[in-house]
A and B are shown apart, each in its own frame.
Chain A
Amino acid sequence: MTWQEQFARRWPRVVLYIIMIGLAIVYLFPVYLLLITSFKSFDQVSLSRMWEFPASFSLESFDRAWNGGEGVIGMSNSFLNSVYMVVPGTIISCALGSLNGYVLSKWKFPGSNTLFTLILFGMFIPYQSVLVPLVQVLNTMGLYGTIPGLILTHVVYGIPITTLIFRNYYASVPTELVEASHIDGADFFGIYRHVVLPLSAPGFVVVAIWQFTSLWNEFLFGLLITNNPEIRPVTVALQNLSGSQFTQWNVQMAGAVMVALPTLLVYMLLGRYFLRGMMAGALKG
């Protein structure tokens, strides 16, 4: 076969790869821009050369975005706030979701499916429709403008998705195992501890990654529950940074890279589980 014949036979493949690589470049483009801009020093920042590679790598922008200075409020404090919010929020969500999923899959009762559907509705509502009462109630409880208030909010509105993932996951745990253990005299907690929990690791990973990502990326609650700049989460800080006219582009992009990094790392290391959580949100998908 001559190379012309070979090409004629293979050109659809070649075109396919060209399109796929082209699209991959388009998808990575914003990341390229974020990275090259955030590694430029202040004297290298020039709008007419914004797409060019930095002449030398500098951490000035990261330093400014993290520590602040010259009209920029540093994000270090907010970054820690987000950590203080996301870690307990994720742990509590996992515990609650696991328990709820266990009850709703292995201890069904008349009307339990309807109740589950009513719980699920909570994950689709626009949060604007609960914001005013939420602020009032948190205020009355003394939790408005505090990190525990944010944690409570995220845990409550996380109940539907975490319950859904665990319920579907536990549906695959054979009911015979549960019944056998029950006949052996194990009670509600005994079955949970000795049968269900040991099989739960993948479910916990999926839920933990999902809640970690959602809580870290969340903005609306962070914006409205934290009137006090001292406790705002990192997404709100980034939005403020980008809204300020005095902030240079390179500082904004460095801020965006820092906000993106934790969830991006989780995605790169545990993408498979991230995907499973995402698909669960589509119910049947």
Chain B
Amino acid sequence: MQMTRSTYRLTRDRVTALIMLAPSVFAIAVFVYGFIAWSGYVSLSDWSGILANDIKFVGLENYASIFNQGRFQTDLRNTIVFTLFFVVSTLVLGLILALMVDARVKGEAIFRSIYLFPMSLSFIVTGVAMAWIFTPGSNWQNGDSTGINLLLKDWGFANLQSAWITDAAIWPLGGWFPDWSKARLGIPLAMIPVVAAATWQMSGFTMAMYLAGLRAIPEEIREAARVDGANDWQLFRRIILPSLQPVTLSAIIVLGHVSLKIFDLILTMTGGGPGNATDVPGIFMYEITFKANKFAEGAAVAMVMLVMVALVIVPYLISNMRSEES
């Protein structure tokens, strides 16, 4: 039902429709756009406390301040590392799971349910369970292993034990520490178990999306390719993978925005530690705003998070709207 301005006339029912929609539109206008504008304003002020009676406008000072702090630079490094590893591992694992489940196996529904159930859990539950699994043991080098280290030791892989979420090391070579950076650049090893936990939770989602994509490929196309003598690999490479591209894009955007905002999983699993090895902007914002009362700097961190998410989401939303209208 495409409507142009010239054919649209306000009838009684259409006015009723607009009135019914109004409360939600008002709520979103205030709670989303109004509050964002408010936070944006706070991020340009010197507000640092509960009392808001003497707020001065300070321009971009808070942004300069946070970008100059080692902790925020570390947070940005961690966000990039987490996002890259999480998105790639979740996509690859999700695709593999979907291809296997789609291969006409017996008990397909059971496998699908098992790979998908972590999606129904809270990140807090995942964090609590995974924190214990990846706690290495207070003295694991000398045999007092716990969690996954204990399993490795019992199964004869004692040399694969690691400090996991307590590992402060940066890979490779302890990290690159150029003059312009206050954060050691590299991959914080403690982030690996966190990525594993997030992948465990979200890979079922990618699997479900890929499954829907696979089932949308007409059987005739696969048949035709087989008749033309394509082997399984060629079929996958030339037919299946290209037709899954839109699914991959959607998945990247959903996973990407989840990982740019990640907060509860990391807070529960590592609290951002050791040091700031797994700290992220979400935790930083929470701590400086609600524990140190630095409202203006906290708002600046929140605005940076919003911009990162918007860069991913806004083009997607716009293209989604356009494709619907055409």
Interfacial residues, chain A to chain B (CB-CB below 8 A): 16-17, 19-20, 23-24, 27-31, 33-34, 37, 47-48, 50-51, 96, 99-100, 103-104, 107-110, 113-122, 124-134, 137, 156-157, 159-160, 163, 175, 182, 187-189, 213, 216-220, 223-224, 235, 238-239, 242-243, 249, 252-253, 255-256, 259-260, 263-264, 266-268, 271, 274-275, 278-279, 281-285
Q: B309, A124: Cβ atoms under 8 Å?
A: yes
Give A137 to B306 CA distance when docked, in angstroms: 20
Determine whether B31 belongs to the interface, using a CB cutoff of 8 Å to chain A: yes
Q: A156, B28: Cβ atoms under 8 Å?
A: yes
Evaluate whether A125 and B125 lie within 8 angstroms (CB atoms) in the complex, with A27-B118, A130-B36, A263-B120 already known.
no
Q: A119, B28: Cβ atoms under 8 Å?
A: yes
Evaluate whether A130 and B39 lie within 8 angstroms (CB atoms) in the complex, with A188-B16, A264-B117, A275-B208 already known.
yes
Q: A117, B24: Cβ atoms under 8 Å?
A: no
Q: A48, B32: Cβ atoms under 8 Å?
A: no
Q: Which residues of chain B from 38 to 81 have a CB within 8 Å of any chain A CB?
A: 38-39, 42
Evaluate whether A284 and B250 lie within 8 angstroms (CB atoms) in the complex, with A27-B115, A129-B305, A219-B264 already known.
yes
Partner of B120, one of A114, A126, A249, A264: A264
Partner of B20, one of A103, A129, A159, A217: A103
Q: A279, B3: Cβ atoms under 8 Å?
A: no
Task: List the A side residues contacting B147 at CB < 8 Å.
Answer: 50
Determine whether B129 belongs to the interface, using a CB cutoff of 8 Å to chain A: yes
Give A29 to B148 CA distance when docked, in angstroms: 11
Q: Which residues of chain B from 270 to 319 have a CB within 8 Å of any chain A CB?
A: 271, 281-282, 285-286, 289-290, 295, 298-299, 301-303, 305-306, 309, 313-314, 316-318
Give A278 to B112 CA distance when docked, in angstroms: 15
Q: A285, B247: Cβ atoms under 8 Å?
A: yes
Give A135 to B118 CA distance when docked, in angstroms: 31
Can you name 15 A-B residue pairings with CB atoms under 8 Å?
A30-B200, A33-B129, A50-B150, A110-B8, A113-B324, A113-B325, A122-B31, A126-B305, A134-B31, A219-B124, A238-B124, A238-B125, A282-B251, A283-B250, A284-B320
Q: Which residue of B lies closest to A218 (CB)?
A: B122
Give A165 to B324 CA distance when docked, in angstroms: 15
Task: List the A side residues contacting B32 at CB < 8 Å.
Answer: 121-122, 125, 130, 157
Task: List the B side residues contacting A137 at CB < 8 Å.
Answer: 30, 35
